[in-house]
A and B are shown apart, each in its own frame.
Chain A
Amino acid sequence: MHAAIEVKDLEFSYGDIKAVDGVSVEVAKGEILGFLGPNGAGKSTTIKMLTGQLRPDAGSISVLGMTMPEQTVDIQARIGVCFEEKNVYENMSGRENLDFFARLYGIKHKDFDPFLRNVGLIDRADDRVSTYSKGMRQRLMMTRAMINDPEILFLDEPTDGLDPVSARAVRAVIKSEAERGAAVILTTHDMNEADQLSDRVAFINEGRIAALDTPENLKLKHGQRSVRIRSRSGGGVEEQVIALDDAGAGDQIRRAVDVEGLMTIHTEEATLENIFIELTGRGLDA
């Protein structure tokens, strides 16, 4: 049984600038891989190579048991891509956009209503896209990425610009696509989203994968679990942070809570962003 995606020692340069430098990763069917990194880290270039837009300088790409670039068109017939840019045809309606792209996959006369209903666009399906809001365009692009029932989904900032309700709907769609068996590569700046959705996350920095593991494991390996206890003390507020991995943490916690004026107790764990900064020395927004 092949992994959905197998990438080995991938390299790509723009002139003298090495954008991707030896990236290796495997993604299983039904897995959601969060692809995290700041601008210019090499995420987009890697995705462009995996979707057949760029040819790697070195390394190998196997998608669904087929190799790139030899079988690029066959691979592209079985993947779906949702871009960060809202690249939809403005002079056409939402339904016409879907029909055009479906025909490029050889799909004719498909009923798009279930897709459109799923993302809340059914009532505006026949309106021109130029009249859509940013969030509606994003949802249309998500729908477009799924019209060929793809076995792999590449999603670049899929909830960017969406209101919380729409974002939740899109996340539910992503989850259901993974449950259907599609491998999902999710590029996002939203650490909470990556944490909630991803089975594993890959931190990419300066063209290399700095870490690749489940969010839980990364937090366990690189973060510190702690309890933050706040209580009133002599007219002020006292705050204690107790590391759970320290010896005697249990006794410390018992003592801290056994006081008058106890206000709040919070468990805390490292965020993916903190871990990224710790591993790479730079923030995700850099």
Chain B
Amino acid sequence: MTAPAQVPSRLSIIATIVQKDFKAFTRDRLYLFLSILGLVAYVAIFWMLPNTVDETVTIGATGAGVQELLARATGEDEAAGLDVVAFDSRETLVTAVEEGDDDVALGLAFPDDFFASVAAGRPTTVTVVATAEVPAELRSAMESFVREAAFAIAGSPLPVEFQEEILGVDRVGNQVTLREQFRPLLAFLVLLIEMLSLAGLLASEMQSRTVTAVITTPARLSDFLTAKVVFGASLAFGQVVLLLLAIRSLDQQPVLLLTFLLLGSLMVTAFALVAGSYGKDFISVLFTSLIFLIPMMIPAFSLLFPGSASSWVQAIPTYGLVQGIVEVTSYGAGWADSLSNLGMVAGWTVVAFVFGLGTLRRKVHSL
């Protein structure tokens, strides 16, 4: 009987498992293909997207008798890309602007006594209802246009006052292009694909019960779990950093951005622990992952439609992550501006880990 081997250090055991996971990942053609294809496709999509802002704005209007006036006026301004849609009431106009119905991005709510007030020389107020991405210049142009209309009716300048109602976060002067809007969505998609890869690897360990073979060696269950977290987070983080380098998005506040991405990688790793615990094969892993993927993607998609995000979206764990990436990459936010988003992501990551590790631990014990 030979002398028993020295029990290796925890670090050495974890490194051995991570190394094995990397080997298994590179040999799983499906997940490897998805990862590489995803990365290439996302970079291509990003560079193909327009890097300009669409300047055509559809105007909605409400108020007795003003539609004809506006139609005549905008007809003369076709080159400026103005279009008018009439609404029956102020409420339907606000809803249309808020939800983007008929592509209405800006509304003018005239009071019913507008003509009478202007004709009598009485002050009157017109409300400009606009979504966040409508440029301030356009709002000013609309105000000038209404003043001109009032001048045409009364024959002299009249005290028409304007009240602005901005729906969503006001990004006056900071509109982002479609390409920029897609940036956090693409980063997020890469993270989610890696979540799928890790969940698949975990499901395979559970299903084949190789995890049982590992934890009857000097490797503890905590070593196994730590190795999965390290591997999963590294995989996701590495891929998303590659993506951001490829789309040149690490120029501003790189450390802050990398912090967001690291937290995001840890968060999706925690979700993968849960998905991997319940999955049995690729289809069930995909199905289980979708339960997490769909709600988690809502904040990223809502960026494509500014002003459309309801307040409940802010309760989704990934909201802080997406918002943080947007504010850093598109608006140059710094550490101080990002603290609340960082706190939100860190908090949700901790919650996700408590849930994910608990689920996986229970699953292993049940094998």
Q: Which residues of A contact B (CB under 8 A)?
A: 51-54, 73-74, 76-79, 81, 83, 85-92, 96, 100-101, 103-107, 144, 148-149, 151, 180-182
Contacts and interface: CB of A to CB of B under 8 A. Distances in A.
A92 B7 contact: no
Interface stretch (B22-30, B67-75, B161-169): B22-30
A91 B208 CA distance: 12
Nearest to A29: B1
Given A92-B23, A104-B16, A105-B218, A74 B7 contact: yes
Nearest to B223: A104
Q: Which of A86, A87, A96 has the most B CB atoms < 10 Å from its CB?
A: A87
B220 interface: yes
B186 to A, nearest CB: 29
B5 interface: yes
Nearest to A110: B5
A91 B30 CA distance: 13
Interface of B: 1-2, 4-8, 12-13, 16-17, 20, 23-24, 27-28, 208-210, 212-220, 365
Lowest 6 CB-CB distances: which A-B pairs, in order? A106-B8, A104-B217, A91-B27, A87-B209, A103-B16, A81-B216
A226 to B, nearest CB: 43
A51 B218 CA distance: 11
A105 B2 contact: no
A79 B215 CA distance: 12
Contacts of A86: 208
Nearest to A14: B366
Contact of B5 (A90, A91, A92, A148): A148
Nearest to B13: A104
Contact of A89 (B6, B24, B219): B24
A150 B1 CA distance: 8
Contact of B1 (A54, A79, A83, A149): A149
Nearest to A130: B27
Contacts of B217: 76-77, 101, 104-105
Given A104-B218, A104-B219, A87 B7 contact: no
B218 A73 contact: yes
A105 B7 CA distance: 6
5 contacts: A73-B218, A85-B209, A88-B208, A104-B13, A104-B214
Contacts of A85: 208-209, 212
Given A76-B216, A103-B16, 17 more contacts: A73-B218, A74-B7, A77-B4, A77-B7, A78-B4, A79-B216, A83-B209, A85-B208, A86-B208, A88-B210, A89-B208, A92-B23, A100-B16, A105-B8, A106-B218, A144-B213, A151-B4
Contacts of A87: 208-210, 212-213
A152 B20 CA distance: 26
Contact of A103 (B2, B8, B210): B8
Nearest to B26: A91
A73 B220 contact: yes
A104 B209 CA distance: 17
A16 to B, nearest CB: 16
Contacts of B213: 81, 83, 87-88, 101, 144
Contacts of B210: 87-89
A106 B208 contact: no
Given A83-B209, A89-B24, A91-B24, A52 B216 contact: yes
A277 to B, nearest CB: 31
A237 B217 CA distance: 60
B7 A53 contact: no
A46 B7 CA distance: 24
A110 B212 CA distance: 23
Contacts of B8: 103-106
Contacts of B13: 104
A91 B6 CA distance: 29
B335 to A, nearest CB: 41
Contacts of B219: 104
A90 B17 CA distance: 15
B218 to A, nearest CB: 5
Nearest to A76: B218
Contact of B7 (A52, A91, A106): A106
Contacts of B23: 91-92, 96
Contacts of A181: 1
Nearest to A107: B5
Contacts of A96: 23
Contacts of B7: 73-74, 77, 106
Contacts of A79: 216
A81 B209 CA distance: 13
A100 B19 CA distance: 9
Contacts of A54: 365
B24 A83 contact: no
Given A89-B20, A92-B24, A105-B218, A180 B4 contact: no
Q: Which of A78, A79, A81, A103 has the most B CB atoms < 10 Å from its CB?
A: A103
A54 B367 CA distance: 11
Contacts of A78: 4
B118 to A, nearest CB: 78
B216 A90 contact: no
Contacts of A180: 1
